[in-house]
């Protein structure tokens, strides 16, 4: 059973400058909720209540967000239930923090979790992806893990010309949604890509990964890549990939972030009707 999750959140967020000059990119809101809260909620909805956030310089706002703010709660009007909501956020899970001292890549960030994780399998949720699904994606992966007891990586199909933005897997299909891997490669050129199945920012890892991270040399961008450590692991044991059910929102770039905001606003009860009306008028040019 998977009881712990790791959320790497130490990155600089250079793709969102200047917004991220003095605030963590994980705190950028989709409407009124910081993206990292959606990610923590997914872990919690998947039955995980022990979460380690890999933090770093300039990330203190994340700690404050998941802490109590007694003065704020006292100042809020009880009527709109906001004070309760603020308390709920602080009580969502047991959230721990550790700081990545130098930004040496995703594999290196995960390595900071080794003591906290010990000898258990654990989930990894990248903060720049949120997924809208009936069954939380991490739960979907946990179900596969419970069957095979091996590393499971979430994947989704991407257009072939976009493979160089992702880690890409290759493998033998076991069903329409499950593969046993034969290869995985970080950001391949389209002509040498093993498939168009992209690593989708969610993993179930086992403590074996820590040994292979130790043995992994810097790869793409001169960083210790998690994908490279997984590739080394694949030479020793089986790894599975599961095509997630749900819609993935990649909020790591500005255009997709905008799309996510619009879609989430259209799904929110209080905005759905007036926002749709506004967009329709805007797009048909009839702005009276």
List of residues contacting ligand G1P (CB under 6 A):
106, 126, 128-129, 166-167, 186, 198-199, 201, 225-227, 252
The CB-of-187 to ligand G1P minimum distance in angstroms stands at 7
- Of 115 and 221, the one with the shorter C-beta distance to ligand G1P is 221
Q: How far is the CB of 16 from ligand G1P (least distance, A)?
A: 13
Q: Which is nearer to ligand G1P, 199 or 204 (CB)?
A: 199
Asked whether 50 and 5 are in contact (CB, 8 A), the reply is: yes
Query: How is 52-92 classified by DSSP, letter by letter?
Result: EEEE-TT-HHHHHHTS--HHHHHHS-GGGTHHHHHHHHHTS
CB of 72 to ligand G1P, least distance (A): 33
Whether residue 88 contacts residue 65, with contact meaning beta carbons closer than 8 Å, is answered with no
> Cβ of residue 199: shortest distance to ligand G1P, in angstroms?
4
Is the backbone peptide bond immediately before 18 cis, with ω within 30 degrees of 0? yes
Nearer Cβ to ligand G1P, position 166 or 264? 166
CA atoms within 13 A on the CB side of 284: 7
What are 157's two structure tokens? 């199909």
State the nearest-atom distance from the C-beta of 112 to ligand G1P, in Å: 16
In 3D, which of 223, 253, 241 has the Cα closest to residue 106? Answer: 223
Q: What is the DSSP string of 5-63?
A: EEEE-----GGGTTTTSSS-GGG-EETTEEHHHHHHHHHHHTT--EEEEEE-TT-HHHH
Residue 153 makes CB contacts below 8 A (sequence gap 6+) with 169, 181, 184, 199, 202, 203, 230, 239, 240, 241, 242
Cβ 157 to ligand G1P shortest distance, Å? 13
Complex with ligand G1P: residue 59 or 89, whichever CB lies closer: 59
Give the residue with the Cβ less far from ligand G1P, 50 or 223: 223
What is the nearest approach in angstroms of ligand G1P to the Cβ of residue 152? 14
Instruction: Write the CB contacts of 175 (distance below 8 Å, at least 6 apart in sequence).
Output: none
Nearer to ligand G1P by Cβ, of 26 and 128: the residue is: 128
What distance in Å separates the CA atoms of residue 173 and residue 243, rounded to the nearest whole number? 11
Residue 11 or 34 with smaller CB distance to ligand G1P:
11
Q: Which residue is nearest to ligand G1P (CB)?
A: 167
Q: How far is the CB of 258 from ligand G1P (least distance, A)?
A: 17
Looking at the Cβ atoms of 10 and 226, the one nearer to ligand G1P is: 226
Q: Do residues 189 and 252 make contact, with C-beta atoms less than 8 angstroms apart?
A: no
């Amino acid at each position: 059973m998977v009881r712990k999750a790791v959320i790497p959140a130490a990155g600089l967020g250079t793709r969102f400058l200047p917004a991220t000059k003095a605030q963590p990119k994980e705190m950028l809101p989709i409407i009124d909720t910081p993206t990292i809260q959606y990610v923590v909620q997914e872990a919690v909805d998947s039955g995980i209540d022990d979460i380690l956030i890999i933090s770093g310089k300039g990330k203190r706002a994340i700690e404050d967000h998941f802490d109590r703010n007694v003065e704020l709660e006292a100042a809020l009007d009880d009527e709109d239930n906001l004070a309760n909501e603020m308390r709920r956020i602080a009580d969502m899970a047991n959230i721990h923090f550790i700081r990545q001292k130098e930004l040496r890549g995703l594999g290196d960030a995960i390595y900071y979790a080794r003591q906290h994780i010990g000898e258990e399998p654990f989930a990894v949720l990248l903060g720049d992806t949120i997924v809208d699904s009936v069954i939380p994606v991490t739960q979907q992966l946990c179900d596969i893990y419970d069957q095979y007891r091996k590393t499971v990586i979430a994947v989704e199909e991407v257009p072939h010309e976009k493979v160089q933005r992702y880690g890409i897997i290759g493998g033998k299909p076991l069903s329409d949604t499950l593969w046993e891997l034969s290869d995985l490669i970080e950001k391949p050129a389209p002509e040498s890509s093993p498939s168009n199945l992209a690593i989708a920012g969610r993993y179930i890892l086992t403590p074996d990964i820590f040994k292979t991270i130790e043995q992994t040399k810097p790869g793409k961008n001169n960083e210790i890549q998690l994908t490279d450590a997984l590739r080394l692991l694949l030479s020793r044991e089986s790894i599975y990939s599961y095509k997630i059910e749900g819609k993935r929102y990649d909020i790591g770039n500005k255009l997709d972030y905008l799309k996510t905001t619009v879609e989430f606003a259209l799904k929110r009860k209080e905005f759905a009707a007036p926002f749709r009306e506004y967009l329709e008028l805007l797009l048909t040019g009839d702005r009276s």
